[in-house]
A and B are shown apart, each in its own frame.
Chain A
Amino acid sequence: MYFVELAVKGLVYGCMYAMMAVGLTLVYGLLRILHIAHAGVFALGAFVAVIVANTTGSLALGFVLATAVSAILGVAIYRFAYQPLLAHPPFVPMIVSIGIFIVLQEGFRMVFGAYGIAFDTNPWYVSTVELAGVRLNQVEVAMVIASIVLLVGFGLFASLTRAGIGWRATVTDPQMATSFGVDPIRVRYLNFIFGSGLAGIAGALVGLLNNYVEPTMGGLVSYKALAIIVLGGLGSVRGTLIASLILGVVESYGTIYLADVFDRDAIGFLFLIVVLMMRPQGLLGRG
């Protein structure tokens, strides 16, 4: 039973990682930039959610605004930081991304305080449900449902709508897509709106899950999301989703069985390094 419980908890974390990592993969697939500042977008989503929820009392409004504000921040990062640098080698925008991440994290510390904010009321946190003998609180359930709904929705959008098909075409071959009348700039904006909105929702959910929002909360999740997109084969959405779930489960077991040797955060990266040594292109990357 214990074994199953670890697997389920691992999958819950995997769903959270997936929501973060998909945004990173989308950016990488389109622009070949390691979007480290994504962590700041995630943390901003959490802060907006907790502040709106505490002042208005409406968690739903918190989620809506968290998504919107995160999407705006993501688009702003693209427009003002990445777009002017696209002609430079990828090293340059990556360093800028690190800079933005640091500035955002320090900015949150100054504006919201270093000690973090808790939710005044967090009804989902205290009520639990039992699924096949495994006890989960409702935030964890919400995390799984949200990630499935959003990612399936995104999948349908990408395969069924005109804009979605144009998007995929641009990722595969930007020049060809442009000559067929797809506007690559619009695709990029769409990309950042969707990826950043998703990160904002993930941030709000993680805030609920910990019942606590702090300036540095984006860090670890996003480093792991970076490991995940490399693990999945950079730019491959399917690989990213699989790698997220695998990493969640590996960490879950690792924290129990490797507790004396490594901490939780090292296990994920150790797994990444081992996999990369065997498959340098990642799990599903093209060789």
Chain B
Amino acid sequence: MSGYIASLVSVIGINMILALSLNIITGFCGQVSLGHAAFYGIGAYTAAYLSKLGVPLALTLPAGAAMAGLIGIVVGLTSLRVRHDFLAVTTMGIGFVFLGFVRKQKWLGAELGISGIPAPGLDPLVYALLIVAIAGLVIVFCVWTKRSWMGFAFDAVADDEDAARTVGINVPVYKLTAFGIGTALAGLAGGLYVYFARIILPDTFDFVQSIAILTMVVIGGSGSVWGVVASTIALTLLPEVSRAASDYRLLIFGAMLILVMRFSPGGLAAWARRYLARRQAA
């Protein structure tokens, strides 16, 4: 039972880091990304490859994050060239390029991925708590960012790039910062996943995964830290509480995307805000 709890808590923590990291890029800074799973994968493959060489966890996790962040900044450069819909399709393309590359590399295990990854050397429950602690730090970081000058700058870029430029905000720098931080955190989540699952397959990081991460962000409320945290927990637990929900997980995700966008495009966070405002008024 405690093994089950530990794995559930680990999955929630990893998903939370993933969703919050995409929230920095898409929610805070307004840059739509449909290929976030690629950075999750870059972090995972980096950490897995190094761990097989005998590098300890304390080094593989930062290495995975750094690798994902570096490539993320390079990808972020595309956001300086293309905007909105062009960017959405380009980032989606990055996901396919990553997957197509990994699938053909024999030294990365090609279609079979990397297996036989050494154990983290911690009790599963302790490891789960480590993941949760890191997720907690990410939450604190996100809340702090939102209130900082950087958060205001992100907001301005998301609202209207040209207006942001006229008030002296260095738009390229903030976009690249958002991409760098967001993708590095996704890479960190990838590293954490490696020691949790002890095997990685290319398909774990496909387009459906990107969409699943986006679903958590959008349903929680793009840009809202607590909304994203709540929706991540809810959407991760959903398949666990009911057998039907786990069989039709994707169907439910799809239906929720449609309904939430149709009736509350700001996600559950916007809905909760409206609800509280109405109660205060009454």
Contacts and interface: CB of A to CB of B under 8 A. Distances in A.
Nearest to A224: B96
A272 B78 contact: no
B33 to A, nearest CB: 12
Interface stretch (A66-74, A129-137, A197-205, A263-271): A263-271
Interface string B14-46: 000000000000000000100000000000000
Contact of B254 (A85, A88, A103, A266): A103
Contacts of B32: 91, 94
Contacts of A264: 100
B250 A102 contact: yes
Interface in A77-106: 81, 84-85, 88, 90-96, 98-103, 105-106
Interface in A249-287: 259-270, 272-273, 276-277, 280, 282
B97 A262 contact: yes
Contacts of B255: 99, 103
B251 A227 contact: no
Given A106-B248, A266-B100, A230 B258 contact: no
B93 A99 contact: no
Nearest to B206: A219
Q: Which of A100, A103, A227 is most buried by chain B, counting CB atoms within 10 A of its CB?
A: A103
B279 interface: no
Q: Which of B211, B254, B255 is most buried by chain A, counting CB atoms within 10 A of its CB?
A: B254
B62 interface: no
Nearest to A99: B257
B68 interface: no
Contacts of A34: 85, 88-89
A92 B94 contact: no
B212 to A, nearest CB: 10
B100 A262 contact: yes
Contacts of A95: 214, 218, 257, 261
Q: Which of B85, B104, B214, B250 is most buried by chain A, counting CB atoms within 10 A of its CB?
A: B85
B88 to A, nearest CB: 6
A226 B92 contact: yes
Q: Which of B88, B93, B255 is most buried by chain A, counting CB atoms within 10 A of its CB?
A: B93
B144 interface: no
Contacts of A125: none
Contacts of A270: 93, 97, 100
* B-side interface mostly: helix
Interface in B248-275: 248, 250-251, 253-258, 261-262, 265
Given A85-B262, A276-B78, A90 B90 contact: no
B141 interface: no
B90 A276 contact: yes
Contacts, number: 126
Interface string A203-239: 0000000000000000100010011001000100000
Interface in B194-236: 207, 211, 214, 218
A113 interface: no
B100 A99 contact: no
B103 interface: yes
Contacts of B88: 34, 94
B147 interface: no
A155 interface: no
Interface in B66-112: 78, 81-82, 84-86, 88-90, 92-94, 96-101, 103-104
A101 B258 CA distance: 10
B78 A273 contact: yes
B81 A102 contact: no
B78 A277 contact: yes
B194 to A, nearest CB: 23
Contacts of B265: 85, 88, 92
Nearest to A263: B100
A276 B258 contact: no
Nearest to B81: A280
A286 to B, nearest CB: 13
A103 B78 contact: no
Contacts of A57: none
A192 to B, nearest CB: 18
B82 A103 contact: no
Given A272-B90, A277-B78, A234 B104 contact: no
A20 B89 CA distance: 16
Contact of B89 (A81, A219, A227): A227
A123 interface: no
Given A34-B85, A96-B261, A230-B89, A102 B100 contact: no
22 contacts: A84-B262, A92-B265, A95-B218, A95-B257, A95-B261, A98-B257, A99-B254, A102-B211, A106-B250, A106-B251, A107-B251, A259-B104, A261-B104, A265-B100, A266-B96, A269-B96, A272-B93, A273-B90, A273-B93, A276-B86, A276-B90, A277-B81
Interface of B: 32, 78, 81-82, 84-86, 88-90, 92-94, 96-101, 103-104, 207, 211, 214, 218, 248, 250-251, 253-258, 261-262, 265
Given A219-B207, A273-B90, 8 more contacts: A94-B85, A95-B214, A99-B253, A100-B258, A106-B250, A262-B100, A273-B93, A280-B86
